[in-house]
Structure 1
Amino acid sequence: MVLSTIISVFSLAAFAVIHSLTASLPFKRLLVRGLGSRAEMLYLPAYSLIAVLTILPLVYLLYKYPGRILYKIRSPWRWLMVGGQLIAAIIAPRAFQDAPHRFKIRSQLSAPRTPEAGSLNIRGIYRWIRDPFLLSGLVIIWLTPIMTVNLLVIYILTTIYLFLGSLHWETRLVAQFGDEYRKYQIRVNRIIPGLRGSVKEFD
């Protein structure tokens, strides 16, 4: 069981390295130099495909060697948790839809406060939470109704990775949008949705 846990951790580490590398600005600059204008169109589908392919070995390991069961949530609470996971799974595509300009390579590689960088343009789900991807990820993993030893270890490490990734992402957004994003940070929570920032404040 210890061996399966170690192998799972190494699989997660490999995924994290590849995921972070392909999301980095140096990698995107290299991509733009090699593909030109096509980089913008090809990057996100390729990035998503790489993420899926590199996470599959870990999913297989956790399915094949889950480890000792720590707890099982019974119905109806189990279905409430699964329902929460499904709702959280909707957040990610919604977040892409509400802020497509944040994920454009050209904008990310532009100098701060330039026309290419664009404006923050807060709308949709971002009016209530700054990082919906972090929230959806945490909800999906921690509302799992069956918890095993290996799952727990991987979930703890994944939570740390997601949290650090969120900090890095916000640092990049501050560099891209400057004081506009700093004011937004004061008004809206990063992880926990709230009404601290009025919807009208961002119109």
Structure 2
Amino acid sequence: MNLNNNRAARAIALVYSACCYVVFLITFLYLIGFVGSVAVPKNINDGPLLAWPLAVLINCALILLFGVQHTVMARKGFKRWLAAVIPTSVERSTYVLLSSLVLVLMFWLWQPMTLTVWEVETTWAKGLLIGLFWLGWGIALLATFLIGHFELFGLKQPIDRWRRATPQAPEFRTPLFYKIVRHPLYLGFLIAFWATPHMTAGHLLFSMGMTVYIFIGASFEEKDLVALFGERYRRYQQEVGMILPWAKSRKKDAE
């Protein structure tokens, strides 16, 4: 009976994680359309216009909510608390689910600010920016597969639990993009957020807010990686830029 219950629990965890992944995938695709104004019911410039102060307040609150949720749930203390509530195998899936739901809330409540900051009309320059937009998303997606896409988004853990696979210790690797920057995922997002031929005030606020969060979030992540990999990661910090290829550690520059 206990074996059956254990198998049922593992099956439920697997189905739950698969559903969380599907929600993430739909949300990720919608995010591309939302930022790029491509094939979605509501993009970053759609919706009734509010007074500027109120629109700025709502949009900043949404960005802050996203940043706080991402940062707090990624901390070890929160993970330990969450592990006492839900199985460890679905902790990452729950993080991914809540992150996706916060993004859905952002899509729904985002207030357009349609003042044009810049608009590129030259054909070659417009094509270049559109190409960079898609390149950014491509870099971000490929970066996840280079380090373990399905583990990053919470599918591998319940699959391993279902198969009763022995957990493997984290392995320090620097494939492809990771030889150029330590966080190519974030670099891809930055390119995608900023590369647009038509930058509105709302899009600019979104890009600025997410850029601030990316650098703050990367700094927190760096501390966790140093704690995990120690001196090996410290050497990596000195040799490779965090998000921008040319922005290497000051310690390295001083040597």
Same topology, TM > 0.5: yes
Deviations 1:16-58 (A, max 9, x none): 222222222222222333333xx33x34443333222212333
Aligned 8 A contact 1:117 1:176 in 2: no
Q: Which of 98, 112, 129 lines up with 1:50 in the alignment? A: 98
Alignment match, 1:18? 69
Alignment match, 1:100? 148
Structure 1 position 29 matched with structure 2 position 76: no
Aligned 8 A contact 1:70 1:147 in 2: yes
For residues 161 and 13 of structure 1, the distance between their equivalents in structure 2, rounded to whole angstroms, comes to 8
How far apart are 1:117 and its partner, in Å?
4.9
Tell me, what secondary structure is at the counterpart of 1:191?
Answer: coil
For residues 180 and 56 of structure 1, the distance between their equivalents in structure 2, rounded to whole angstroms, comes to 38
Q: 1:118 to 1:70 in 2, by over 3 A?
A: closer
Tell me, what secondary structure is at the counterpart of 1:70?
Answer: strand
Q: How does 1:149-188 map to 2 (within 5 A)?
A: 149-188=201-240
Tell me, what secondary structure is at the counterpart of 1:34?
Answer: coil
Alignment match, 1:110? none
Alignment match, 1:108? none
Deviations 1:37-80 (A, max 9, x none): xx33x344433332222123333444x52232222222332232
How far apart are 1:140 and its partner, in Å?
1.1
Q: Which of 89, 96, 118 lines up with 1:71 in the alignment? A: 118
Alignment match, 1:143? 195
TM-score of the superposed pair, with normalisation by structure 1? 0.76
Tell me, what secondary structure is at the counterpart of 2:85?
Answer: helix
Name the Cα RMSD after superposition: 2.8
Structure 2 counterpart of 1:124, which letter? L
Tell me, what secondary structure is at the counterpart of 1:76?
Answer: helix
Aligned 8 A contact 2:73 2:95 in 1: yes
Structure 2 counterpart of 1:31, which letter? L
How far apart are 1:190 and its partner, in Å?
1.6
Tell me, what secondary structure is at the counterpart of 1:35?
Answer: coil
> Which segment drifts farther, 126-135 or 171-180?
126-135
Tell me, what secondary structure is at the counterpart of 1:88?
Answer: helix
Tell me, what secondary structure is at the counterpart of 2:221?
Answer: helix
Aligned 8 A contact 1:82 1:143 in 2: yes
Q: Which of 128, 141, 144 lines up with 2:180 in the alignment? A: 128
* Structure 2 residues without counterparts, runs of 5 or longer: 1-51, 155-166, 249-255
Q: 1:92 to 1:127 in 2, by over 3 A?
A: same
Aligned 8 A contact 1:94 1:125 in 2: no
TM-score of the superposed pair, with normalisation by structure 2? 0.62
Deviations 1:104-135 (A, max 9, x none): 99xxxxxxxxx975441222321221111221
Structure 1 counterpart of 2:112, which letter? Y
Task: Spell out structure 1 runs of 4+ moving beyond 4 A.
Answer: 101-105
Aligned 8 A contact 1:12 1:55 in 2: no
For residues 192 and 56 of structure 2, the distance between their equivalents in structure 1, rounded to whole angstroms, comes to 21
When Rg is computed on C-alpha atoms for both structures, the one with the higher figure is 2
Alignment match, 2:138? 90
Q: 1:150 to 1:182 in 2, by over 3 A?
A: same
Q: Which of 244, 251, 255 lines up with 1:192 in the alignment? A: 244
